[in-house]
Amino acid sequence: MEDGQRPRAGERARSDPVRRCGVGSTPPRAGPGPGPGVAPRPPRRRPHAARDSLTVRVAILGYYGSGNLGDEAVLWAMLEHLREASGDLEACVVSADPTRTEAVHGVPAVRRTDAFAVRRRFRACDVVCSGGGSLFQDVTSWRTPLFYAWLHELAAGRPLVVYAQGVGPLRRPLSRWVTRRAMDRAARVTVRDPESAETLQQLGVRNPPEVVCDPTLGLVPDRVVAGGQALVACVRAWPGAWQEAVARAVGDVARERGLAVHVLCMHPELDAPVSVEVARALGAEVLFPRRPQEALDALQEARAVVGMRLHALALAATAGVPFVGLSYDPKVRSLARALDQPYLDLSGLRSELLGQAVRHVLDDASAAERLRRKVQPLRGLAREPARIAVELGRSA
């Protein structure tokens, strides 16, 4: 790669393989080391150092540095799009683990609980980007929207862009009140799906939400793999007795079609036990990618994907790999509908119905091409929040 040339999506050193673990293996710990194929961290600049007038200084806050490859894929896409829009980007990320974020993405990061460091970075930037991902929801915890609302407060005095967020579910009155207040801090509000826009409209936010799409749908794989020879399952920790139905359906179809089976683990800290459980039932191996680029590489090799994790499905779509969504959350259903892909509710899942859906995808010779055509117009829409952020940053 020539000096100064950024890698396209999915491009990395081929000597840096996805970690493959057998069904009884211990998942790898996410280490901070950058490893091969990762851009060196750019030199830090003093907050008020002189800079080129074309440089745009962006601070990004979200669920980063926590080992969730879906959110890391969102950050990867955001940085790509912001660089394209600005031509000269100086970025800093608010992260749960700054060392990990700096190693994986090659940009400076500050610890999200260090209010003084976060505020200092916000003051030194031209624009703050909040997102992407599902930051304002209270399914994981009632504290989640409070925490991100607090970060919005720290950004006071700088233009703030809500960047392709998914909003909701918001089950508690306090969560709804806090979310409305936090959104009213923003100069522009962009959301990744119509359902999120409807939620904000019901809350009565001041700025009308603009519907874009998830940033990962704007990633462009560096290669197209036609006719993969594997079924990939991506599950997550979630209550219920659905594991046997998934394993039986995927295993039956794979045996019928002579396909290999892999289980892709996108968030080892949470999903490793259930991933190993499903893999053991399938007699399959578990893939533990260390970076989102590696997850995309694994998905590109698939004939089809059966998945719960939203960004495993989104990355599969960018690679033109059809999927069957397992909807445990409205966001999975929303993505599947937007891309005309089949989905089934996880609650009450039956292996027979899932097997039928997977067979239908495999038997449809034009499914991959139709999916690519569906994703193509979304690539520009995925870049719209970056254009908005750069425009606000330059006019600040």
Radius of gyration of the chain (CA): 20
Residues 190 and 238 in one domain: no
Residue 387 forms part of a structural domain: yes
The structure tokens listed for 156 are 């006071």
Range of the domain at 271: 230-364
Residues 287 and 310 in one domain: yes
Residues 346 and 238 in one domain: yes
pLDDT of residue 38: 42
Residues 168 and 271 in one domain: no
Q: Are residues 301 and 320 in contact, defined by beta-carbon separation less than 8 angstroms? A: no
What's the structural domain count of the chain? 2
Residue 191 forms part of a structural domain: yes
- Confidence (pTM): 0.88
β-strand 323-327 against 343-345: which pairing, if any? parallel
Residues 120 and 94 in one domain: yes
The predicted-structure confidence for 94-142, as pLDDT tens digits, reads as follows 999 999 999 999 999 999 999 999 999 999 999 999 999 999 999 989 9
pLDDT of residue 52: 54
Residues 187 and 104 in one domain: yes
Assign residue 189 the CATH number of its domain: 3.40.50.11930
Residues 124 and 155 in one domain: yes
Report, as an integer, the average pLDDT of 72-84.
Answer: 99
Assign residue 325 the CATH number of its domain: 3.40.50.2000
- Percentage of the residues of the chain whose pLDDT score is greater than 70: 87
Residue with tokens 């826009």: 197
Residues 240 and 325 in one domain: yes
* Residue of 15 and 341 predicted with greater confidence: 341
Mean pLDDT lowest among 149-153, 222-226, 246-250, 307-311 = 222-226
pLDDT of residue 36: 38
The predicted-structure confidence for 203-230, as pLDDT tens digits, reads as follows 999 999 999 999 999 999 887 777 789 9
Residue 206 forms part of a structural domain: yes
Q: Are residues 81 and 390 in contact, defined by beta-carbon separation less than 8 angstroms? A: no
Residues 208 and 271 in one domain: no
Question: What is the pLDDT confidence band of residue 4, given thresholds at 50, 70 and 90?
Answer: very low
Residues 150 and 266 in one domain: no
Residues 55 and 184 in one domain: yes
Residues 383 and 329 in one domain: no
Neighbouring residues of 373: CB distance < 8 A, sequence distance ≥ 6? none
